[in-house]
């Protein structure tokens, strides 16, 4: 066992793994998706276990896929395969019966583990008992649950203020665990509850709440089957929400038009071979996008404005046929201000700014003008920009002009990336809770929750750096790899006194730690949870506001797992002791008790225990979906807003870089080294560049380069990437997250939401080692 303490690497090793490039695909799924779905499951030691679990995934009485938040059908579900390739990979990843024994940790130091890449680390197996790293230690060692909770309690009670602690939540955490988690944090005395939503759809929540009164989407899955046009912006459903393709295919069958707006040409927006149909298995694809607008990175605002102006011209030529004037008059404010704001723009300039030919914009406007019902979908390509909130409000402008909110077959569809990220926020996991939410907690539970706003993710990282945070608890997730500015974030985490991670498998955040650290093993979604001696169910909220039950069925591979809910309840008891006004034992004994109390303090959960057991669950109330708007700023109206065009200026030798996910990846979890649809195999350290840019910079595809970002004079560097020639707009580039996160400046955030701008970083590209 090494006695010399080596600083573990906060990033993936700077090593190439053997890039092979093939032609990008023009269609998604098909037989390759079926083979890929089963490959990971069949490669596990006990494939029967994984195959059995797949039959229960996303079924009404089964467990919810722990990957994305795309909804399951309300009505009939396929009895054999209500999941996609990525859902199957997620299942294989968590259902493995490989375990990390004390011998594994004794053999592998933290520095050894850090030499693995994320893919190799994820393959090691399930963490099977609580482990602890003492101050100055080089190896994790086993610790009992009791001792782990004693350490946590001693640390928390030793802080000079509750605000020296932060409690992070990842989007996998169930409603029940989230509710008790926020309750504990607030009874302990802090609103420091950063969550993964701060890094993804926070811009959506802020933008929509301001102008339509609710920070969530307004559509149901059935609206997709009753609409005329679907616009998909800054989203790659083929990789990140694959079952959305089934919904798009169904929509296409009834004649719905699709406009895709994205800087990269993605297979999953182009065509779909549905592997659940004979046609798909025979290799016959359904074309998806009728029009593909290959916008420049962050050209979306210019594109939206151009569309609005073209639609306005069409409306003037044929009054009453393009805009929904009745809807605008009855339900909105700010229409005239918006129309007046357009006078400052020339459509040709906007087209140029967007990087899309005017003829294509005209074609899009023609399609939209003839559509009675319209859905607009978006994801991180819109939210993770300085102007993310403003672009979302511009999306709402377009929807309001068409009266496309609050009626069947129309609405807004922000597509969430992690299975219960929306539910976490509904359960009050929020660093900036509303006064009325805290009042309800106070009135029901009888303690006074803190009123001071807490830290979001970016604020928490800075507070760690400044020594204001000493204790960090991570409920799931991989905080280090999910966050921006890896070097800065790693420095921040190393300044903490105690870091605690509730996890199923090892990840890089376990290796970059405070003075001491704990890893607490928990159930995966597919594991059977018999806390308190009964078969427990939990619940999750999908992207469309449906609350559904989830019940794992696999025998856990270790008898040392505790549920997330149980961990919180035991931590609360150990920390608060007799001072607590909450009966934590009761909550842990039967999650029904938690749901009973949720019903009392969060609107929309009447008869929660009964309705969550109904097949398919229930929809949460959503006034905007019903055509009712109640906003803090505009009363009972939805608001048109005038949003500025962003200044996407860069120096002559700079490129716009966006971070993307590969097809063998879910957020920070890496299932493999391929990105099949984009023709990338066996490598993640690549930079996609336009062939003209490669030539004019004097490079050749295959060259090794280093990437630099300069934000406010500070240099950041990501070394050793391979150039791939790709269909991407000139001066635009793309790299994989989390490898390029090191280039994303902590201070570059979306205005209004503080979301890191991971979709636009200006970089310089130099020959490797130059």
Closest CB 683 distance from ligand SF4, rounded Å:
23
70: contact with ligand SF4 by CB under 6 A: yes
CB of 243 or CB of 595, closer to ligand SF4: 243
The span from the first CA to the last CA of the chain, in angstroms, equals 38
CB of 65 or CB of 480, closer to ligand SF4: 65
Closest CA to 228 of 14, 77, 376, 57: 376
Write phi, then psi, for 518 (nearest 5 degrees): -130, 145
- Per-residue burial over 408-425, b = 16 or more CB atoms within 10 Å of its CB, e = otherwise: ebbbbbbbbbbbbbbbbb
The Cα–Cα gap between 229 and 742 comes to 38
Stretch that binds ligand SF4, among 64-72, 153-161, 635-643, 648-656 (CB under 6 A): 64-72
CB of 126 or CB of 241, closer to ligand SF4: 241
According to CB under 6 A, which residues from 78 to 117 bind ligand SF4? 83-84, 86-87
CB of 36 or CB of 306, closer to ligand SF4: 36
Half-sphere exposure at residue 596, Cβ-oriented, CA atoms within 13 angstroms: 7
CB of 197 or CB of 420, closer to ligand SF4: 420
171: contact with ligand SF4 by CB under 6 A: no
The Cα–Cα gap between 273 and 277 comes to 8
Half-sphere exposure at residue 522, Cβ-oriented, CA atoms within 13 angstroms: 23
Closest CB 240 distance from ligand SF4, rounded Å:
8
Closest CB 705 distance from ligand SF4, rounded Å:
33
Structural contact between residues 712 and 747, judged by C-beta atoms closer than 8 angstroms: yes
Structural contact between residues 168 and 194, judged by C-beta atoms closer than 8 angstroms: yes
Closest CA to 164 of 658, 604, 498, 504: 498
In sequence order, the β-bridge partners of residue 541 are 547
Closest CB 579 distance from ligand SF4, rounded Å:
41
The Cα–Cα gap between 716 and 719 comes to 10
224: contact with ligand SF4 by CB under 6 A: no
CB of 335 or CB of 619, closer to ligand SF4: 619
Q: At what angle do helices 358-369 and 300-317 cross, to 10 degrees?
A: 60
Closest CB 123 distance from ligand SF4, rounded Å:
20
CB of 131 or CB of 247, closer to ligand SF4: 247
CB of 190 or CB of 550, closer to ligand SF4: 550
Closest CB 669 distance from ligand SF4, rounded Å:
11
CB of 86 or CB of 662, closer to ligand SF4: 86
Closest CB 37 distance from ligand SF4, rounded Å:
10
H-only helix segments in 96-144: 102-107, 110-114, 118-122
| Sole binder of ligand SF4 in the list 36, 68, 303, 399 (CB under 6 A) | 68
CB of 504 or CB of 690, closer to ligand SF4: 504
CB of 258 or CB of 338, closer to ligand SF4: 258
721: contact with ligand SF4 by CB under 6 A: no
The Cα–Cα gap between 7 and 110 comes to 9
| Sole binder of ligand SF4 in the list 151, 241, 257, 508 (CB under 6 A) | 241
Q: Which residue is nearest to ligand SF4 (CB)?
A: 87
65: contact with ligand SF4 by CB under 6 A: yes
Closest CB 616 distance from ligand SF4, rounded Å:
15
| Sole binder of ligand SF4 in the list 122, 242, 355, 476 (CB under 6 A) | 242
How many CB atoms sit inside 10 A of residue 768's CB? 14
**Contact code string over 33-62 relative to ligand SF4, x by CB under 6 A:** -------------------------x----
Maximum pairwise Cα distance, the chain: 80
Contacts of 492 (CB under 8 A, 6+ apart): 461, 462, 464, 465
**Contact code string over 677-716 relative to ligand SF4, x by CB under 6 A:** ----------------------------------------
* Degrees to nearest 5, angle at CA 48 with 43 and 54: 90
The Cα–Cα gap between 188 and 186 comes to 5
Interface residues with ligand SF4 (CB under 6 A) are: 58, 65, 67-68, 70, 83-84, 86-87, 241-243
């Amino acid at each position: 066992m090494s006695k010399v303490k080596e600083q573990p690497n906060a990033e993936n090793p700077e090593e190439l793994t053997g890039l092979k490039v093939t032609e990008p695909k023009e269609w998604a799924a098909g037989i390759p998706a079926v083979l890929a779905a089963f490959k990971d499951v069949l490669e596990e030691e006990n494939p029967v276990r994984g195959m059995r679990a797949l039959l229960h995934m996303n079924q009404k009485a089964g467990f919810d896929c722990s990957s994305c938040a795309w909804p399951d059908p309300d009505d009939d579900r396929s009895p054999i395969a209500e999941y996609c390739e990525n859902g199957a990979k997620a299942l294989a990843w968590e259902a493995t019966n490989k375990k990390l024994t004390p011998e594994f940790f004794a053999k592998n130091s933290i520095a050894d583990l850090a030499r693995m890449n994320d893919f190799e680390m994820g393959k090691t197996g399930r963490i099977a008992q609580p482990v602890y790293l003492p101050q100055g230690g080089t190896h994790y060692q086993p610790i009992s649950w009791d001792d782990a909770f004693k350490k946590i309690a001693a640390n928390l009670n030793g802080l000079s203020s509750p605000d020296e602690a932060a409690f992070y939540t990842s989007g996998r955490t169930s409603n029940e665990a989230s509710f008790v988690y926020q309750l504990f944090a607030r009874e302990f005395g802090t609103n420091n509850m950063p969550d993964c939503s701060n890094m993804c759809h926070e811009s959506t929540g802020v933008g929509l709440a301001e102008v339509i009164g609710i920070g969530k989407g307004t559509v149901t899955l059935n609206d997709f089957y009753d609409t005329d046009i679907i616009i998909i912006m800054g989203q790659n459903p083929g990789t990140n929400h694959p079952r959305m393709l089934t919904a798009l295919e169904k929509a296409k069958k009834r004649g719905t038009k699709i406009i895709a707006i994205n800087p990269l040409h993605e297979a999953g927006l182009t065509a779909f071979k549905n592997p659940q149909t004979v046609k798909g298995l025979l290799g016959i694809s359904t074309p998806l996008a009728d029009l593909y607008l290959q916008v420049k990175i962050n050209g979306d605002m210019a594109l939206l404005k151009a569309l609005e102006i073209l639609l306005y011209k069409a409306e003037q030529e044929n009054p009453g046929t393009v805009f929904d004037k009745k809807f605008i008059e009855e339900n909105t404010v700010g229409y005239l201000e918006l129309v007046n704001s357009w006078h400052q723009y020339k459509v040709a300039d906007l087209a140029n700014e967007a990087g899309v030919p005017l003829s294509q914009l005209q074609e899009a406007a023609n399609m939209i003008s003839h559509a009675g019902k319209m859905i607009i979908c978006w994801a991180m390509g819109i939210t993770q920009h300085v102007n993310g909130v403003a672009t979302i409000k511009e999306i709402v402008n377009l929807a309001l002009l068409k009266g496309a909110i609050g009626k069947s077959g129309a609405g807004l569809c922000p597509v969430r990336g992690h299975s219960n990220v929306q539910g976490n926020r509904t359960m009050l996991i929020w660093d900036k809770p509303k006064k009325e939410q805290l009042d309800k907690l106070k009135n029901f539970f009888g303690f006074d929750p803190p009123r001071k706003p807490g830290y979001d993710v970016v604020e928490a990282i800075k507070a760690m750096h400044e020594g204001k945070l000493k204790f960090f608890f991570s409920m799931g997730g991989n905080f280090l790899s999910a966050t921006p500015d890896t070097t800065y974030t790693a420095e921040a985490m190393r300044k903490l006194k105690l870091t605690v991670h509730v996890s199923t498998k090892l990840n890089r955040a376990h290796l970059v730690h405070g003075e001491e650290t704990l890893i607490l093993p928990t159930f995966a979604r597919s594991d059977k949870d018999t806390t308190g001696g009964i078969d427990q169910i939990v619940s999750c909220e999908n992207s469309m506001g449906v609350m559904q039950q989830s019940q794992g069925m696999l025998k856990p591979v270790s008898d040392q797992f505790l549920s997330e809910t149980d961990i919180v309840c035991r931590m609360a008891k150990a920390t608060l002791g007799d001072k607590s006004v909450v009966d934590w034992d009761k909550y842990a004994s039967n999650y029904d008790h938690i749901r009973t109390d949720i019903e009392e303090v969060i609107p929309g959960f009447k008869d929660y225990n009964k309705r969550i057991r109904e097949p398919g669950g229930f929809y949460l109330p959503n006034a905007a979906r019903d055509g009712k708007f109640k906003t803090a700023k505009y009363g009972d109206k939805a608001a048109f807003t005038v949003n500025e065009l962003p200044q996407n200026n860069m120096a002559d030798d700079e490129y716009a870089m966006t971070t993307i996910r590969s097809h063998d990846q879910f957020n920070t979890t890496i299932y493999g080294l391929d990105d099949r649809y984009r023709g990338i195999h066996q490598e993640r350290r690549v930079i996609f560049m336009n062939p003209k840019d490669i030539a004019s910079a004097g490079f050749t595809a295959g060259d090794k380069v280093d990437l630099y970002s300069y934000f406010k004079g500070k240099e950041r560097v990501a070394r050793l990437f391979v150039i791939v020639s790709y269909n991407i707009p000139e001066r635009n580039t793309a790299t994989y997250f989390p490898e390029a996160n090191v280039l994303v400046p902590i201070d570059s955030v979306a205005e209004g939401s503080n979301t890191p701008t991971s979709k636009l970083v200006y970089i310089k590209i130099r020959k490797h080692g130059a």
